[in-house]
Structures are given as structure tokens and as C-alpha cells.
Amino acid sequence: MWINPKEMSEWACYYCKNIEDDPEIRSLITTSFWIYWYCRYIKDRPEVRKHIIDPESAYYYCKYVKDRPEVRKHIIDPI
């Protein structure tokens, strides 16, 4: 059975939040939005946040979690 990576990321976030924050499950969080969500609602971990590359998720991370240069660099101005 094939599962969409976005859906797997969402499932993994809720698993980490509601059941156990397990490193193996955490590694299944692969989309920028769900990585931001993990950092905001579960724990802001350097090994997780380094994968925030989407401009919108980077913006929300910097606004609601912490303004970090390594994440902020992914926020680009629209043309």
C-alpha cells in the first residue's frame, strides 16, 4: 500500500505529539509544513528544523517559533 508522503508526515506528527516522540517516527516527517508544525507544537530540534526549506513554512517558523538565520534564509520575497 502506497501512502502519500504529506499524509505520512501528518500521521507522524500526531503520533509524536499524542503517543511517543520517537526518533524513528520523527524521521517520517518530510514536508516543510509538518516539520514546522513539529517544531512549534512538539519540540524545536535542530536536526528537524534544518529540513524547513519551503518559504511559507520558514516564515511561520520564524514568526511563531524563533527567528533563526538558518531558517530565515529560505524566506524569499515574491516578485
Q: Could you report the per-residue pLDDT of 48-77, keeping only the tens digit for each?
A: 999 999 999 999 999 999 999 999 999 987
For the entire predicted model, the pTM comes to 0.88
Angle between helices 32-41 and 5-18 (to 10 degrees): 10
Task: Enumerate the domain spans of the chain.
Answer: 5-72
Identify the helix (H) or strand (E) that includes residue 4.
none
pLDDT at 10 over 70: yes
pLDDT at 6 over 90: no
Closest by CA to 41, choosing from 22, 18, 23, is 18
Q: Tell the burial category of 19 from Cβ atoms under 10 Å away from its Cβ (0-12, 13-18, 19+).
A: exposed
What is the distance between the alpha carbons of residues 73 and 37, in angstroms, rounded to a whole number? 19
Residue 5: pLDDT band with limits 50, 70, 90: low
Mean pLDDT (whole number) for 5-28: 92
